[in-house]
C-alpha cells in the first residue's frame, strides 16, 4: 500500500496524537477540522496523494526561545517565548501574540493552525501563525511590561518581517505592548516597516482595528440571523470575557438594538438584568484596560447587577451567546443548558471557546452556530487592511474601513453557505468554514508541489 492511499479519520488522528504528545489543544483543533475535511476529500484523490491535510497539520516551523528580563526589584526572571509559523501558502504568516500564564506550545500550535483557515476565509493574502509567552502581565508595572516586550522582540525580530511574518495582539497584548515591541524592532533593525499590526494611528496603525474582532463577530451573527429573516433588535445576548473582543461585541450588539446581559473575566461573571448600555460598556473598558480592575467591581458601580464568582455565564437564559474570553470556556453541558434555555445563535469571538462535545451539541441542535475561525476573522481582516495601508504608505478613512469589514464578514458568511448548506434550512457553519478555508490553502499547496 502506497503512503498516499487513503487512511481513515481515526488512523489519521492516531498519527496526530502520536506526533504531538501532551498537546491536547492542538489535537482538538486538528480533530475538529479533520472531521469535515475527510468527508470533503473522500473523492478528491489529489488532496490525498499530496497529503495536504497532514502537511497543514504540521507547522512549517516552531521557534522556541528564552526571554530574560529584570523585574522592578532587580530580580532576573526567565520566560519562554514562541513563534509558530504554521503555513504560508497564500501569504506571509499572520497571527497574534499572546501573553498569558496558560500559554504552551500546544496552545500556540492550535491557534496557528486555526489561523491558517481563518486567514484564508478573509480572502486576503495571509498565511497562518501565532506566538506568545507564558509571561503573566497581571500585577506587573508598565516598566516591567516594557522590559519584557523589548526582551521578547530582541529574539523574535530574527523570525519576522513585513513580507515574512506579521504578528499582532491577542490576550494580554494590546496597543501598548505592540508599541513596546514595534519600538524595539525598529531600534534593532533601523527599519520602519509594517512588521506588526494593531499599531497606534500615529505610527502606521489602522482605524477600527481595535473594534474589528468584536464588531465582526456581531456582523457575522447578523448575517446568520438574516438567513432566518431575523435581526438583533430586542434579542438578549450573553457574552463572556471583558477584554477587547467582548466589550466591542457588546458595543455592536447594543448599537444594533440587542440587549447584553452578561460579561465575565477569570474571576466570574456579572449579570445585569437591565442590560449594558454604552455608558456601562465604557465603564468596563476603562476599568479593565486602564485601571486593570476585576469585573466583580461592576456591581458596586451598577448595583442592580449580580456577580457570580468562579462561574461562566452560560446558565443565564438568552437568545444569543458570544463566548469571547478564551479556549474551552464553553463545555458540552454548557451547550446543552444554552439550548434548553432557548438559545438560537452562537457567534464565537474567542478562538475555539467551545470544546468538541459542545460543538457536537450545537451541530445536533441545528442552531445558528459560527466557529471562531469564521466569526472572529474581522480582527485579522482589518490587520490585513493595515498591512495594505502600510505598503501603500497611506491611511484609509473610517467609513471605508467599516464598509470593508462588513463586506469581508458577509463574504465569509457566503463562503460558509457555499460549503455548509445542508438543506432543509440548516447551515453547518463549522463545516462550511473548514472546507472553504482548507480548499483555498490546499489548492495553493498543490500548485507548489512537494515542499
Ligand atoms: P483580552 O486580553 O483583551 O481579554 C481577554 C478576556 O478573557 C479577559 O476578560 C480575561 O479575563 C478573559 N480570560 C482570559 N483567559 C481566561 C481564562 N482562562 N478563563 C476565564 N477568562 C479568561 O483578549 P482579547 O479580547 O483580545 O481576546 C479574547 C479571545 O479572542 C481570545 O481567544 C483571542 O485569541 C480571541 N481573538 C482576539 C482577537 C483580537 O483582535 N484581539 C482576534 C481574534 C480572536 P482576565 O482579565 O481576568 O484575565
CATH of residue 18's domain is 1.10.285.10
Q: State how many domains the chain has.
A: 3
- Give Cα separations from 316 to 104, 238, 291, 319, 341 (angstroms): 32, 7, 28, 10, 8
Catalytic residues: 130
Model confidence at 4: pLDDT above 60: no
Model confidence at 5: pLDDT above 60: no
Q: Kindly state whether residues 223 and 347 are assigned to the same domain.
A: yes
Residue 291 pLDDT level (bands cut at 50, 70, 90): confident
Mean per-residue pLDDT, 389-397: 95
Model confidence at 3: pLDDT above 50: no
Say which residue, 44 or 290, is predicted with more confidence.
44
Mean per-residue pLDDT, 69-89: 98
pLDDT at position 1 is 40
Does residue 300 belong to any structural domain of this protein?
A: yes
Whose alpha carbon is nearest atom 37 of ligand 1? 170
pLDDT at position 280 is 98
For the chain, give the mean pLDDT.
Answer: 97
Q: Kindly state whether residues 234 and 368 are assigned to the same domain.
A: yes
Mean per-residue pLDDT, 54-68: 98
Ligand 1 center from residue 220 Cα (angstroms): 19
Q: Kindly state whether residues 75 and 219 are assigned to the same domain.
A: no
Does residue 384 belong to any structural domain of this protein?
A: no
> Which is it for the CA torsion 157, 26, 451, 120, positive or negative?
negative
Whose alpha carbon is nearest atom 22 of ligand 1? 266
Q: Kindly state whether residues 49 and 76 are assigned to the same domain.
A: no
Model confidence at 323: pLDDT above 50: yes
Last residue of a domain, one of 159, 193, 227: 193
Judged by DSSP in three states, 71 sits in coil
Does residue 109 belong to any structural domain of this protein?
A: yes
Q: Kindly state whether residues 188 and 154 are assigned to the same domain.
A: yes
Does residue 198 belong to any structural domain of this protein?
A: no
Q: Kindly state whether residues 48 and 65 are assigned to the same domain.
A: no
Model confidence at 290: pLDDT above 80: no
Which structural domain range is residue 25 located in?
A: 1-57+433-451
pTM: 0.96
User: By percentage, how much of the chain surpasses pLDDT 70?
Assistant: 99
Best probe residue, ligand 1, of 133, 211, 214, 243 (max atoms within 8 Å of C-beta): 243
User: By percentage, how much of the chain surpasses pLDDT 90?
Assistant: 97
Q: Kindly state whether residues 13 and 91 are assigned to the same domain.
A: no
What CATH number is attached to the domain comprising 66? 3.40.50.10860
Q: Which residues pair with 199 in a beta bridge?
A: none
Whose alpha carbon is nearest atom 19 of ligand 1? 266
Q: Kindly state whether residues 79 and 168 are assigned to the same domain.
A: yes
Q: Kindly state whether residues 174 and 228 are assigned to the same domain.
A: no
Q: Where are the alpha helices (DSSP H) in 65-173?
A: 105-121, 142-156
| Rounded Cα–Cα distance for residues 203 and 390 (Å) | 10
Q: Kindly state whether residues 241 and 102 are assigned to the same domain.
A: no
Q: Kindly state whether residues 226 and 170 are assigned to the same domain.
A: no
Q: Kindly state whether residues 291 and 353 are assigned to the same domain.
A: yes
If you write DSSP's letter for every residue of 379-390 in order, what string do you get? Answer: HHHHHHHHHHHH
Ligand 1 center from residue 197 Cα (angstroms): 18
CA terminus-to-terminus distance, the chain: 23
Q: What is the pLDDT of residues 176-235, one digit of tens each?
A: 999 999 999 999 999 999 999 999 999 999 999 999 999 999 999 999 999 999 999 999
Ligand 1 center from residue 171 Cα (angstroms): 5
Model confidence at 6: pLDDT above 80: no
Amino acid at each position: 500500500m502506497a503512503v498516499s492511499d487513503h487512511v481513515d479519520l481515526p488512523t489519521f488522528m492516531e498519527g496526530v496524537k502520536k506526533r504531538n504528545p501532551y498537546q491536547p489543544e492542538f489535537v482538538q483543533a486538528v480533530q475538529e477540522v479533520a472531521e469535515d475535511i475527510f468527508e470533503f476529500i473522500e473523492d478528491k484523490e489529489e488532496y490525498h496523494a499530496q497529503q495536504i491535510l497532514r502537511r497543514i497539520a504540521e507547522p512549517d516551523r516552531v521557534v522556541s526561545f528564552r526571554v530574560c528580563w529584570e523585574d522592578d526589584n532587580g530580580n532576573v526572571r526567565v520566560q519562554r517565548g514562541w513563534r509558530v509559523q504554521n503555513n504560508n501558502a497564500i501569504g506571509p504568516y499572520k497571527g497574534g501574540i499572546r501573553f498569558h500564564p496558560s500559554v504552551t506550545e500546544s496552545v500556540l500550535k492550535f491557534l496557528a493552525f486555526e489561523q491558517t483557515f481563518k486567514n484564508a476565509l478573509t480572502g486576503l493574502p495571509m498565511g497562518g501563525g501565532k506566538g506568545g509567552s507564558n509571561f503573566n502581565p497581571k500585577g506587573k508595572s508598565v516598566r516591567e511590561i516594557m522590559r519584557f516586550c523589548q526582551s521578547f522582540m530582541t529574539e523574535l525580530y530574527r523570525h519576522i518581517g513585513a513580507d515574512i511574518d506579521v504578528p499582532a495582539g491577542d490576550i494580554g497584548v494590546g496597543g501598548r505592548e505592540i508599541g513596546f515591541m514595534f519600538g524595539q524592532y525598529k531600534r534593532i533593525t533601523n527599519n520602519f516597516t509594517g512588521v506588526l499590526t494593531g499599531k497606534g494611528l500615529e505610527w502606521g496603525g489602522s482605524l477600527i482595528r481595535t473594534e474589528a474582532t468584536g464588531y465582526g463577530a456581531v456582523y457575522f451573527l447578523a448575517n446568520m440571523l438574516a438567513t432566518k429573516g431575523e435581526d438583533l433588535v430586542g434579542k438578549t445576548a450573553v457574552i463572556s470575557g471583558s477584554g477587547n473582543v467582548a466589550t466591542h461585541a457588546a458595543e455592536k450588539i447594543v448599537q444594533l438594538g440587542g440587549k447584553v446581559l452578561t460579561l465575565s473575566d477569570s474571576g466570574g461573571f456579572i449579570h445585569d438584568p437591565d442590560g449594558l448600555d454604552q455608558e456601562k460598556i465604557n465603564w468596563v473598558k476603562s476599568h479593565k484596560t486602564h485601571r486593570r480592575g476585576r469585573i466583580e467591581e461592576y456591581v458596586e458601580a451598577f448595583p442592580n447587577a449580580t456577580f457570580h464568582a468562579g462561574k461562566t455565564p452560560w446558565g443565564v437564559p438568552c437568545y444569543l451567546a458570544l463566548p469571547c474570553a478564551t479556549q474551552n470556556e464553553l463545555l458540552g453541558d454548557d451547550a446543552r443548558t444554552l439550548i434548553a434555555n432557548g438559545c438560537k445563535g452562537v457567534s464565537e469571538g474567542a478562538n475555539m471557546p467551545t470544546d468538541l462535545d459542545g460543538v457536537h451539541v450545537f451541530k445536533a441542535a441545528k442552531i445558528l452556530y459560527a466557529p471562531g475561525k469564521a466569526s472572529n476573522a474581522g480582527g485579522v481582516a482589518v490587520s490585513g487592511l493595515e498591512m495594505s495601508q502600510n505598503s501603500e504608505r497611506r491611511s484609509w478613512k473610517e467609513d471605508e474601513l467599516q464598509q470593508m469589514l462588513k463586506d469581508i464578514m458577509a463574504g465569509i458568511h457566503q463562503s460558509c453557505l457555499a460549503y455548509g448548506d445542508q438543506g432543509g434550512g440548516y447551515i453547518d457553519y463549522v463545516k462550511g468554514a473548514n472546507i472553504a478555508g482548507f480548499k483555498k490553502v490546499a489548492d495553493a499547496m498543490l500548485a507548489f508541489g512537494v515542499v
